[in-house]
Chain A
């Protein structure tokens, strides 16, 4: 199947700083990518839909000014957690949607964010 990578795989930062997480589709182009957040022992929660060349669509309750999403190319979407706080500590996972056909989604390996 198609490969999606995330960078970094884990990050520790101080409260108040901003952290950028990259999501790349390595062998296919993805006009649409999705960002999820997963807290321990919980399921994945959809945060936003990232579309190449346009503004992201955020789910209800997700602050767009805090979680900045940029989908500047067909293979890269970034999620920036601005002014991170300990409650933002979580596992962030992206997925990329293949175009055409059945439109399969492939998930990245996730990024563990710990805010001190």
Chain B
């Protein structure tokens, strides 16, 4: 399984765009990149998933360069409620368990 590296913590203010970058140098051809959000005492919640280039949904965008060795989660105009831990994970389609790294603790202030 490809190991991921992401910043331990990030700080932002309400209304700003937040970009969290994740490194996954050993990503395999069949691997997908997925991001989850976790609030305290809750289970992780799926944010977005992608294989290459750019993926956008109603809450975030995911940018993946051509070499796929990194990815960036972009949260537009964060609010206080976006304060959470964000996990970057790499997995293949075979249905194996998601292996969580340390995640990035995002703190949004007013």
By a beta-carbon cutoff of 8 Å, the part of chain A in contact with chain B is 1, 4, 6, 32, 34, 36, 43-46, 49, 91, 93, 95, 97, 102-110, 112
The complex places the Cα of A100 from the Cα of B44 at a distance, in Å, of 22
**Are B101 and A95 in touch, CB under 8 angstroms?**
no
Map CB proximity to A onto B33-70 as digits: 1 under 8 Å, 0 otherwise. 00010000111111001000000000000000000000
Within 8 Å by CB of B44, from A1, A6, A107, lies A107
Nearest chain-B residue to A112 (Cβ)? B41
Decide if B28 is an interface residue (CB 8 Å cutoff). no
Q: How many residues of chain B get a CB closer than 8 Å to chain A's CBs? A: 20
Decide if B29 is an interface residue (CB 8 Å cutoff). no
Within 8 Å by CB of A43, from B32, B46, B103, lies B103
**Are B98 and A95 in touch, CB under 8 angstroms?**
yes
**Are B95 and A32 in touch, CB under 8 angstroms?**
yes
- Complex A-B: 24 CB contacts under 8 Å: A1-B46, A4-B43, A6-B43, A34-B97, A43-B87, A43-B101, A43-B102, A44-B44, A44-B100, A46-B99, A49-B97, A91-B41, A93-B44, A95-B43, A95-B98, A97-B95, A102-B49, A102-B93, A103-B95, A106-B46, A107-B43, A107-B45, A109-B43, A110-B43
**Are A109 and B42 in touch, CB under 8 angstroms?**
yes
By a beta-carbon cutoff of 8 Å, the part of chain B in contact with chain A is 32, 36, 41-46, 49, 87, 93-95, 97-103
Nearest chain-B residue to A48 (Cβ)? B97
Within 8 Å by CB of A103, from B41, B94, B101, lies B94
The complex places the Cα of A97 from the Cα of B96 at a distance, in Å, of 9
Seed contacts A34-B98, A93-B43; 13 additional CB < 8 Å A-B pairs = A4-B43, A43-B101, A44-B44, A91-B41, A95-B98, A97-B95, A102-B32, A103-B95, A105-B46, A106-B46, A107-B36, A109-B42, A110-B41
Nearest chain-A residue to B38 (Cβ)? A44
The 6 nearest A-B residue pairs measured at CB: A107-B43, A44-B100, A103-B95, A43-B100, A34-B97, A107-B44
